[in-house]
């Protein structure tokens, strides 16, 4: 048993020592909402967002990426610079859980195995599916009547840098264009989608939500060979 433990330790250490092909880590930051209630500022985090990230580094210039991020979103007309929204006085809170997959593209080559510090801006996009609470407004009351889900298009720009040979620190701003106008209760979905008198705001413009924060990932896997990509 002692010899088996030694072998496992050596193999694990060797595996980690050549850990450059995959990355796993977390995201921590803030979220904000852009829609028919509250401010329309693109970068204005007012709720905590957190989650996990996985990357498969296929070359020095691109990676396949997946993530799960959870957050509350909220809006308050009192925070808006628009006089009409301030006078209206609406507010809401919702919660979202998103699952995203797509491609991350590095502006410059990024390879932890070179032995030199690495830094590059990057872009990420793909397809996101997220769940949220279906809301509607009855007078001054906001009602949670069901659960719902839809897709969104993530548009992320960031900057990442290596910390040694096995850690990557990043900062990113990511807007999600959703295919719903109901996150703030302004355009109910599901069983209430056809009921009159429940919609308000611009029903021809779908909602956005934004994540701004930092990522910290740890590299692992086999030693990279990017010659085929």
Within a domain: 85: yes
| Residue at 229 is within a domain | no
Higher pLDDT, 65 or 42: 65
Residue 67 has pLDDT above 60, yes or no: yes
The kind and range of the H/E element at 41 are none
Q: Rounded CA gap, 60 and 109, in Å?
A: 5
- Rounded to an integer, the average pLDDT of 59-83 is 95
Q: pLDDT exceeding 90 applies to what percent of the chain? A: 69
- Percent residues over pLDDT 70 in the chain: 88
Q: Does position 13 have pLDDT exceeding 50, yes or no?
A: no
Mean pLDDT of all residues belonging to the chain = 88
pLDDT of residue 39: 92
180 within some domain: yes
Q: How are the residues of the chain apportioned to helix, strand and coil, as percentages rounded to the nearest 5?
A: 15, 55, 30
Tens of pLDDT, residues 84-112: 999 999 999 999 999 999 999 999 999 88
User: How far is it between the farthest Cα atoms of the chain?
Assistant: 74
Q: Does residue 229 register a pLDDT over 90? A: no
Owning domain of residue 178: 2-222
Count the domains in the chain.
Answer: 1
CATH number at residue 70: 2.40.160.20
Whether residue 227 lies inside any domain: the answer is no
Q: What is the mean pLDDT of residues 174-191?
A: 92
The pLDDT score that the predictor gives to residue 224 is: 58
User: CA dist 16 to 26, 59, 115, 161, Å?
Assistant: 19, 19, 16, 20
Task: Please give the pLDDT value at position 10.
Answer: 42
The rounded distance, in Å, linking the Cα atoms of 87 and 83 is: 6
This prediction's pTM: 0.85
For tokens 């808006």, the residue is 80
Over the stretch 152-171, which tens digit does the pLDDT of each residue have?
A: 999 999 999 999 888 999 99
In a domain, 51, yes or no: yes
Three-state secondary structure call for residue 50: strand
DSSP codes joined into one string, 52-121: EEEEEE-SSSEEEEEEEEEEEEEEEGGG-S-HHHHHH--EEEEEEEEEEEEEEEESS---GGGSS--EEE
- DSSP SS3 for 12: helix
Is the distance from CB of 91 to CB of 74 less than 8 angstroms?
yes
Between 191 and 146, residue with greater pLDDT:
146
Report if residue 117 sits inside a domain: yes
pLDDT at 21: 85
pLDDT at 226: 54
Work out the average pLDDT over 169-186.
Answer: 96
pLDDT-derived band at 113 (thresholds 50, 70, 90) equals: confident
Give the residue-averaged pLDDT of 115-137: 95
Higher pLDDT, 72 or 141: 72
Q: Is the pLDDT of residue 12 over 50?
A: no
138 has pLDDT over 60: yes
């Amino acid at each position: 048993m002692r010899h088996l433990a030694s072998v496992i330790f050596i193999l694990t250490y060797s595996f980690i020592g050549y850990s450059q092909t995959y990355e796993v880590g977390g995201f921590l930051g803030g979220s904000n909402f852009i829609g028919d209630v509250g401010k329309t500022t693109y970068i204005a985090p007012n709720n905590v967002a957190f989650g996990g990230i996985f990357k498969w580094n296929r070359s020095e210039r691109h990676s396949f990426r997946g993530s799960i991020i959870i957050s509350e979103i909220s809006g308050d007309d009192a925070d808006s610079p628009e006089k009409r929204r301030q006078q209206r006085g609406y507010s809401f809170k919702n919660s979202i859980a998103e699952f995203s997959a797509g491609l991350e593209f590095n502006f410059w080559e990024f390879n932890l195995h070179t032995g030199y510090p690495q830094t590059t801006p990057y872009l990420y996009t793909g397809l996101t599916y997220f769940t949220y609470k279906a809301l509607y407004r009855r007078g001054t009351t906001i009602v949670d009547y069901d659960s719902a889900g839809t897709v969104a298009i993530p548009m992320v720009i960031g900057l990442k840098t290596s910390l040694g040979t096995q850690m990557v620190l990043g900062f990113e701003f990511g807007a999600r264009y959703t295919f719903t106008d109901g996150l703030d209760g302004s355009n109910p979905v599901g069983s209430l989608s056809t009921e009159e008198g429940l919609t308000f705001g611009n029903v021809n413009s779908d909602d956005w939500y934004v994540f701004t924060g930092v990522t910290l990932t740890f590299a692992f896997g086999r030693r990279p060979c990017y010659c085929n990509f």
